[in-house]
């Protein structure tokens, strides 16, 4: 199957459930487009002690969102959009969400993703498998992702070239232990994995 044939089957979805916290910043991209950036508290039993970094583009989305926040600044929101990652100069991976839709709705706090794309590299690690994959959606730039699949969730080992669907959370390695604490690095952990 060629990259072109697979691209129509690729998918990227991100969902953030939680409360907006801190300041909302108006920023301008390198290309001159304005957007807002903000953080959402998604701490809880699914993610551990985690903050999701979000941004929203377009006045048609931003104005209603800011109006809803002004009306209910402590409200719980379901924010829908795309999941993204970037690497800094020290090769650390950071996750974020680009939001295009919102709804005020109470739910368990979490930062979730659904990705469907091709595996570039898969390597065993002490706690499971590290997966490097990319999503090549029609009309969008190729997006690269680093996912971690814990041993207890790993039913099948993935291999380079396979088309997979990965569902999971941006969370700490151990979101909640017996003592009510959370430990470990914040990464994109796979909870469900399907190989096509």
pLDDT reported for residue 8: 47
Residue 103's CATH number: 2.40.50.140
- Residue 120 has a CB neighbour count (10 Å cut-off) of 13
Confidence label for 1 from pLDDT (cuts 50, 70 and 90): very low
pTM of the model: 0.89
pLDDT reported for residue 6: 46
Q: Where in the sequence is the domain holding 25, given as residue range(s)? A: 3-195
Alpha-carbon distances, residue 23 vs 49, 73, 131 (angstroms): 19, 11, 34
Percentage of the chain surpassing pLDDT 90?
68
Give the pLDDT confidence of 71-92 residue by residue, as tens digits. 999 999 999 999 999 999 888 9
Q: What is the mean pLDDT of the chain?
A: 90
DSSP calls for 37-96: EEEEE--BTTTBS-EEEEEEE-HHHHHHHHHHHHH-TT-EEEEEEEEEEEE-TT--EEEE
pLDDT reported for residue 177: 77
pLDDT reported for residue 124: 85
Q: Choose among 184, 173, 194, 171: nearest CA to 115.
A: 194
- Count of structural domains within the chain: 1
């Amino acid at each position: 199957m060629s990259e072109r044939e697979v691209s129509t089957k690729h998918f990227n979805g991100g969902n953030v459930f939680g409360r907006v916290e801190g300041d909302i910043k108006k920023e301008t991209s390198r290309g001159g487009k304005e957007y807002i950036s903000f953080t959402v508290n998604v701490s809880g039993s699914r993610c551990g002690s985690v903050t999701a970094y979000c941004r929203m583009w377009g006045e048609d989305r931003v104005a209603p969102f800011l109006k809803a926040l002004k009306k209910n600044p402590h409200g719980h929101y379901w924010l829908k959009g795309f999941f993204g990652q970037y690497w800094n100069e020290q090769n650390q991976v950071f996750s974020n969400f680009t939001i295009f839709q919102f709804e005020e709705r109470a739910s368990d706090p979490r930062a979730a993703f659904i990705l469907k794309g091709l595996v570039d590299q898969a390597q065993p690690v002490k706690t499971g498998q590290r997966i490097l994959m990319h999503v090549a959606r029609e009309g969008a730039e190729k997006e690269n992702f680093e996912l971690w699949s814990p041993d207890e969730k790993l039913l099948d080992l993935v291999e380079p070239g396979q088309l997979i669907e990965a569902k999971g959370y941006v969370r700490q390695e151990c979101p909640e232990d017996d003592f009510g604490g959370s430990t470990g690095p914040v990464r994109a952990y796979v909870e469900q994995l399907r190989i096509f």
